[in-house]
Structure 1
Amino acid sequence: MKQTNYHLFDFMDFDPTMQREEALWKAYAPTSIVERDGDIVVTIPYQQQRHQEDMAPDMEAAQQSYDLIIRAYEPNIIRLFTTMTDDQMTESDEMLLMAPEVKRKPLRYVDGDVIATDGTKVANINLSEPRIDPWSDLLPAPQPAPLITFYPDGDTSKPVALSDDHFSPPRYDALPLGFCSVCCNDTATKNERATISFKCDADEHFVGTGERFRKMDLSGQTFQLKNQDGQGVNNRRCYKNIPFYLSSRMYGVFFHTSDYCKLSLADHSSRSVQFLCDHATLDVFLIGGQTPEEILKGYRMLTGFPAMPPLWSFGIWMSRMTYFSADEVEDICNRLRQEHYPCDVIHLDTGWFRTDWLCEWRFNPERFPDPKGFISRLKENGFKVSLWQLPYIAQGAEQLEEAKKNHYISQPTKEEETSTGGASNFSALDYAGTIDFTYPKATDWYKYSLLKPLLDMGVKCIKTDFGENIHMDHQYHSSSPERLNNIYALLYQKAAYEVTREVAGDGIIWARAGWAGCQRYPLHWGGDSESSWAGMAGSLKGGLHLGLSGFAFWSHDVPGFHSTPDFMNSPLDEQVYVRWTQFGVFTSHMRYHGTCKREPWHYPTIAPIVKRWWKLRYRLIPYIIEQSELACRSGLPIVQALLIHHPNDRQVWHIDDEYYFGNEFLVCPVMNAENRRDIYLPEGQWVHFLTGERLEGGRWYNNVEVPLDEMPVFVRPDARIKMYPHDVDSTDDMDLEKAITIEITKEYKGI
């Protein structure tokens, strides 16, 4: 929409024509503060505002009061809950999976301060009148506001305060608390759209919010937290929105909701972080800590820790869009073995069905005449099989009538419904409905009728593609589509993960969409990136922010998914192939996939370089396993933004083309055709892992030349890196007891 001078329209999403019968209610100063069962309950009156552009109280409307509940948990978590729709606070749902360490801390209220039983100051509620030095009545006096400041980890030097942010009393830029009401008929209204805002500093930085394809510092941006098919990695659309951000002032905020939301990080006002939820309930967790890792661990303690993927998943995955027959797949796998390209997984994308893209969870009987034998032969050759599918039932699918009859899929609200709400970008198929994971019988049908027969054959992983969009004009068993859309990915991936772990023995999926809690079900990849330098850079940005949103494991399509300018048919850039391979070696999982040939022998000029990097990947697997196990019990991702280790270094809050791989490697991928890049090394000594060169940190190295077969990768002196001492064809050939430790001593000269 066009920008105006009015917060009402620009942030609160009011109708600019003022034709809709809606009203804004602004929070006033508390009228009551009481202790109740260890919580502090603050009664907040809300005053309706006049239906006009400038804000002014409508004194003819009676105030409405709603309680703001302040609850504290160990360790370093404050919860704020208020509802204008009679919702109930819960401590367990699909998103919330609190760790045993998360325990209630009873609170008491003493002379304006909220104090925990251990003596920690949790909050201050300022009831004093603002200081006034009268000299003009040109403008009205400011409206009252709740002046509440929170200290998530008890550190009073970094307050998180509600923001009553305005230029003048009629011109607000943020509300501390507020909600909207709309007229349903002549006599009834309903409450919707609630907002909360916190003060921020002029130099404050923000990261997280999901797989955000943006610069590292998100300050000055507003995001719609609404899952969509991202259609690449270089735009504002987002496959994985996570209602969580991390501040450079060392606090995090988790907005516990699956509703559509809007989050302004010092954008609509540089003085405020503002959150707007389409549903009139606010459930906000403030998470404190002294380091980013501590805060991220606090977030995982609320929403769940990642599960450990199986060993074989850390090997190389080979795929295309798509392989069409068992013969084609076996030829590729045999050549990988004959030429000693190490590989563990072969992925079959959209072409294993009767008709390409017509997902029926059945192998094509002509092109895959013996799927169980086919999978068994691949297993004997050291390959695991991954299969593509999606959560929609297409017109023409053999399961359609069963799904419709039993309400396993969403039901159209009109008989003439012909929606293609779930349709693919690559197909004209009309999807008749979305599998309804709000219905337990539909979930069991998906798990045991659709997936289990495949897993019983020996399939080891299901690619849970799509899930960002559902049929919005359909009915679902126990949710409106608007409230289901964001959390759908979590329900979908949970079902696939659980049945895979149950039947195949390994807990793993390959997922694209995401919401809070999805980190529990690894792993996720970055979607349909362009095979270009821009696609590579956008992928890394997304992966870094996802790692700052609670996810430990993340991958991407090497060397990008689609070509340009011809989406399906333009040939790959061989430099991009090599540089993306190098980048992929130093991410948690590594899959080749896309619209053109991905097998390295099709590019003989660079194939020897690629093979050397593949072999290095397998030598690093003991280190990757070690770091992954650490990530599963901490707040750390595998691909780590530099700020995780150097939060007080102002430089790193702006660096999004370098990262830590685990705790030991500092990786600087080359993302241009000039074979050069600027390198920033944080404070201290650094050793080039490949060459043994020693460099001093705390400075930039500009325009460094990097030959195509190299990539800048650094470790600290005295680092100890677990590695496998032998070349292998797959992880089946590995005995991790034989891993050795490389010590970065003064004599180290590289590998």
Structure 2
Amino acid sequence: MKQVIFFFTTVILLISCTPNPTIKTESFNPEWHETFPGVWNSIVNQLEDFNLLSVANKPPRKETLNQKSEQEFPISANEIQAFTKNGKTFLRFPLEKEEQIYGLGLNYKTVQQRGRILRLHMDHYGGTDNGRTHAPVPFYLSSKGYGVLINAARYIDVYVGTTVRTDTKNPPKLYDRNARDGWTAQPYSDNLEIVVPAEGVELVLFAGESMLDVVQRFNLYCGGGVLPPKWGLGFWQRTPTLYNTSDIQKEVHGFVENNFPLDVVGIEPGWHSKSYPCTFEWDKSRYPNPDEFAKNMNQQSIKLNLWMNPYIWPEGELYEKIKSYAGSHTVWNGIVPDYTIPEARNIMQEHFQTHLLDIGISGFKMDEVDGYDRWLWPDVATFPSGLDAEQMRQTYGTQMMTLTDEIYRKKNERTYGLIRAANAGSVSYPYVIYNDYYNHKDFITALINAGNCGVLWTPEVRSSRSGEEWMRRMQTTCFSPLAMLNAWASGTKPWSYPDVYEECREVAFLRMQMLPYLYSTFADYHFNGTPPFRGMNLEEGFETTVDIEESKLDETQNPYAEAVKKEVKDQYMMGDFLLVAPLFNGDEGRQVILPKGNWYDFYTGKFVGNGEIIQVEKGFERIPLFVKDGGIIPMMPAIRQTSDWKEDTPLEIRVYGEANGSFVLYDDDGATFDFEKGEYTTKMLKTENGNVSVLDLHQSENWVYGDLSWTFMTK
């Protein structure tokens, strides 16, 4: 069988135990081996060589993990059970009564997962949180300060506190339904049970000082978060499907004339001579000279991002070269390359390099790698590597990420792009998940859940029913991992709603001003595993402020306690200091739940509350933003393109509140991987008792900020 045997699997097998070839069919307690502080591995029966982490092929960030604090094993090991039978592995973990579970993939409607049944299956999101999603990451996070990764490239069934065993130590109370007093169709359950359709699996358990610390260790174990190029954090505009070079040039001029930020132009299927499936060859009628076109765009500091799906048109340069490495079924009449085979990868990489990277294409939007069973290959499909169709479905997005990342790395050029599928281990790859689902409120829930499971998600803007909705959507996308307007079908521009154009431009420029803060936040993601966008469940001082018995929670007598016990899915953190509370179309205002500690209005510096619910009134034309006490937000002058972010750019360091604070300011060349060789600058910005200081932590000779001026926002 031809397939890539990745480095990561070898590392895990060496640092873990050697799997016992005897399959244990009776329930047993898995053995755990600590590999890093607060990280334990266990091999249940026989680990499949092809798994989520082997495909991602990124070793753990050992140095950082080894600096983490020692932790005790967080749950009772003798209550973790496993056995394998009929080709399936069954797992059971204990749940305490007040324990809440987060994670388990990119969900769009729910943040808390206890009481849910999920089949973690790569698919287009269909509007229901049932496990079929663009990132079915089999990692769950507990409010008790631990997390568990099920490392299997399989469709995994998870029963999160829904089943009651006859041997339970905590039998639920009996109620007589006839008496109509307390009966429930879902009695209390004290376990989380998992079914993996394989004869063995690797488990990785993480413990930390907090839920955020657990997520950090999980991300570091998977290689650490991505650090995008600076241009990737600027503003993106995706153009209509059949635009040509002249149309795109007019689009770029429109952004100049309207004084709106623009760093990236996304080109949709029309750049291919044929699409759905794709030729990966330029259409000569729309792009007669791709080299000159790309050169012209780069001279205007515009990066080009090309749409694709990975299926090969039956005619063209690639088809004959790669067809012997394709699966048994087609997608839209296109063959499906098996990229676990080195020869197939090499063919595609050489084509990309010659026709795209060498002329200056900066990245890709990789579509249709996720699902709809009637579109993608069925589970009966076969592939020349011998891998199951199921394994390919769960990892095809990750395979595409690794394939493209490798060629950009060879060029020493960072990329940033979009993809419809990710899974465990893809945290360090330069791709943000998107889809065609368009519920604005659910976008925020997805943004929160992305932070719980090691992926990035963007709430793009396409069209709106009113100027107000347009403005609200623009505000949200400007406070996300990738700020993008997707006009592939609608042809909309940022100024398509004149009544709110000034507000839209204001928030776009605000994002540009905040890039030093955002870029430093992504550096923290890369070096320390801290998710740059995350839910309130990961924020210190949120749930810990509640000390009231469940039976005494009441929306009238203790509304704050009641609020934080429920799902909070309409506000989130960007970095360590900034709380984002989006408004939605038609809102007459909104409530914001502030964690324990003093919080301040971002725009004015005024105190707004401490561990309480506050009201934001309608008429707030800016997106509501709040900064925690001691917060430090570095900002630069408003720029229209990241190419204007020069080495000597001056920064305004905004300070909020009265508490002492610190912030690690990061900078590098913003374009290459030289930062991995130590070519970067970090400075510790500190405030203490009203005094400020700057400490050089790591100094590169080539990358330094300009003058720093301090503004104390709270008077």
Q: Equivalent residue for 1:636?
A: 530
Matched, 1:516 2:424: yes
Q: Equivalent residue for 1:610?
A: 504
**Which amino acid is 1:329 matched to?**
I
Over 3 Å counting, the alpha-carbon distance change for 1:360 and 1:81 in structure 2 is same
**Which amino acid is 2:508 matched to?**
W
Q: Aligned to 1:154, which of 72, 83, 93?
A: 72
Q: Equivalent residue for 2:356?
A: 454
Q: Equivalent residue for 1:221?
A: 116
Shift of 1:577: 1.4
**Which amino acid is 2:524 matched to?**
L
Q: Aligned to 2:622, which of 687, 710, 714?
A: 710
Q: Aligned to 1:291, which of 198, 201, 210?
A: 210
Q: Equivalent residue for 1:723?
A: 635
Kept after mapping to 2: 8 A contact 1:681/1:700: yes
Over 3 Å counting, the alpha-carbon distance change for 1:193 and 1:162 in structure 2 is farther
Q: Aligned to 2:402, which of 476, 489, 494?
A: 494
Over 3 Å counting, the alpha-carbon distance change for 1:616 and 1:90 in structure 2 is closer
**Which amino acid is 2:360 matched to?**
G
Q: Distance in 1 between matches of 2:64 and 2:53?
A: 12
Larger relative helix fraction: 2
Secondary structure of 1:615's partner? helix
Write out aligned runs for 1:160-309 (5 A). 160-161=76-77, 163=79, 176-181=81-86, 192-231=87-126, 237-269=132-164, 270-309=189-228
Kept after mapping to 1: 8 A contact 2:15/2:35: no
Secondary structure of 2:453's partner? coil
Over 3 Å counting, the alpha-carbon distance change for 1:202 and 1:358 in structure 2 is same
Q: Distance in 2 between matches of 1:46 and 1:281?
A: 10
Q: Equivalent residue for 2:451?
A: 547
Q: Aligned to 1:78, which of 12, 37, 40?
A: 40
> For 1:93-127, what per-residue CA distance to the aligned partner results, in whole angstroms no more than 9, with x for missing partners?
334623334999xxxxxxxxxxxxxxx9xxxxxxx
Over 3 Å counting, the alpha-carbon distance change for 1:89 and 1:557 in structure 2 is closer
Q: Equivalent residue for 1:28?
A: none
Q: Equivalent residue for 1:699?
A: 612
Kept after mapping to 2: 8 A contact 1:689/1:750: no
Shift of 1:67: 9.2
Write out aligned runs for 1:537-576 (5 A). 537-551=441-455, 553-559=456-462, 572-576=465-469
Q: Equivalent residue for 2:281?
A: 362
Q: Equivalent residue for 1:735?
A: 646
Shift of 1:748: 5.6
Report the number of matched residues.
596
Q: Equivalent residue for 1:16?
A: none
Kept after mapping to 1: 8 A contact 2:109/2:446: yes
**Which amino acid is 2:384 matched to?**
Y
> For 1:110-165, what per-residue CA distance to the aligned partner results, in whole angstroms no more than 9, with x for missing partners?
xxxxxxxxxx9xxxxxxxxxxxxxxxxxxxxxxxxxxxxxxx9316xx5245559x
> For 1:57-114, what per-residue CA distance to the aligned partner results, in whole angstroms no more than 9, with x for missing partners?
xxxxxxx79894432222112222121x58579998334623334999xxxxxxxxxx
Write out aligned runs for 1:627-666 (5 A). 627-646=521-540, 648-649=544-545, 651=564, 654-666=567-579
Kept after mapping to 1: 8 A contact 2:105/2:131: no
Shift of 1:278: 0.6
Write out aligned runs for 1:58-137 (5 A). 68-83=30-45, 93-95=54-56, 97-101=59-63
Shift of 1:658: 0.6
Q: Distance in 1 between matches of 2:392 and 2:504?
A: 43
Kept after mapping to 2: 8 A contact 1:375/1:457: yes
Q: Distance in 2 between matches of 1:546 and 1:177?
A: 29
Q: Distance in 2 between matches of 1:201 and 1:250?
A: 12
Q: Equivalent residue for 1:526?
A: 434
Q: Equivalent residue for 1:375?
A: 294
Q: Distance in 1 between matches of 2:545 and 2:386?
A: 48
Shift of 1:282: 2.5
> For 1:28-67, what per-residue CA distance to the aligned partner results, in whole angstroms no more than 9, with x for missing partners?
xxxxxxxx999699999966xxxxxxxxxxxxxxxx7989
Q: Distance in 1 between matches of 2:76 and 2:316?
A: 53
Q: Distance in 2 between matches of 1:572 and 1:478?
A: 49
> For 1:534-554, what per-residue CA distance to the aligned partner results, in whole angstroms no more than 9, with x for missing partners?
x11212211211211123x43
Q: Distance in 1 between matches of 2:79 and 2:22?
A: 15
Secondary structure of 1:485's partner? helix
Over 3 Å counting, the alpha-carbon distance change for 1:736 and 1:667 in structure 2 is farther
**Which amino acid is 1:309 matched to?**
P
Q: Equivalent residue for 1:10?
A: none
Q: Equivalent residue for 2:666?
A: none
> For 1:698-745, what per-residue CA distance to the aligned partner results, in whole angstroms no more than 9, with x for missing partners?
11124x3132522210012432211012x3220111225322212225
Kept after mapping to 2: 8 A contact 1:447/1:496: yes
Over 3 Å counting, the alpha-carbon distance change for 1:649 and 1:283 in structure 2 is farther
Q: Distance in 1 between matches of 2:20 and 2:292?
A: 66
Secondary structure of 2:347's partner? helix
**Which amino acid is 1:709 matched to?**
E
Identity of aligned residues (%): 20
Q: Distance in 2 between matches of 1:637 and 1:381?
A: 32
Higher Rg of the two aligned structures = 1
Shift of 1:519: 1.1
Q: Equivalent residue for 2:590?
A: 677
Kept after mapping to 1: 8 A contact 2:223/2:427: yes
TM norm structure 2: 0.77
**Which amino acid is 2:124 matched to?**
D
Q: Equivalent residue for 1:409?
A: 326
**Which amino acid is 1:315 matched to?**
G
Kept after mapping to 1: 8 A contact 2:449/2:534: no
Kept after mapping to 1: 8 A contact 2:65/2:217: no
Secondary structure of 1:493's partner? helix
Secondary structure of 2:103's partner? strand
Which deviates more from structure 2 when the two are superposed, residues 351-360 or residues 680-689?
351-360
Q: Equivalent residue for 2:685?
A: none
Structure 1 unaligned regions, length at least 5: 1-35, 48-63, 105-119, 121-151, 165-175, 182-191, 413-418, 423-429, 564-570
Structure 2 unaligned regions, length at least 5: 1-13, 165-188, 547-563, 659-710
Q: Distance in 1 between matches of 2:531 and 2:287?
A: 39
Over 3 Å counting, the alpha-carbon distance change for 1:498 and 1:573 in structure 2 is farther
Larger relative strand fraction: 1
> For 1:198-225, what per-residue CA distance to the aligned partner results, in whole angstroms no more than 9, with x for missing partners?
1101221111122111322111111111
Over the aligned positions, Cα root-mean-square deviation in angstroms equals 3.1
TM norm structure 1: 0.74
> For 1:415-457, what per-residue CA distance to the aligned partner results, in whole angstroms no more than 9, with x for missing partners?
xxxx55x3xxxxxxx2332121111010011111135421111
**Which amino acid is 1:97 matched to?**
P
Of structures 1 and 2, the one scoring higher in RCO (CA 8 A, sep 6+) is: 2
Over 3 Å counting, the alpha-carbon distance change for 1:573 and 1:500 in structure 2 is farther
Q: Distance in 2 between matches of 1:609 and 1:346?
A: 22
Shift of 1:337: 1.0
Which deviates more from structure 2 when the two are superposed, residues 443-452 or residues 353-362?
353-362
Q: Distance in 2 between matches of 1:237 and 1:86?
A: 24
Q: Equivalent residue for 1:690?
A: 603
Kept after mapping to 2: 8 A contact 1:344/1:730: yes
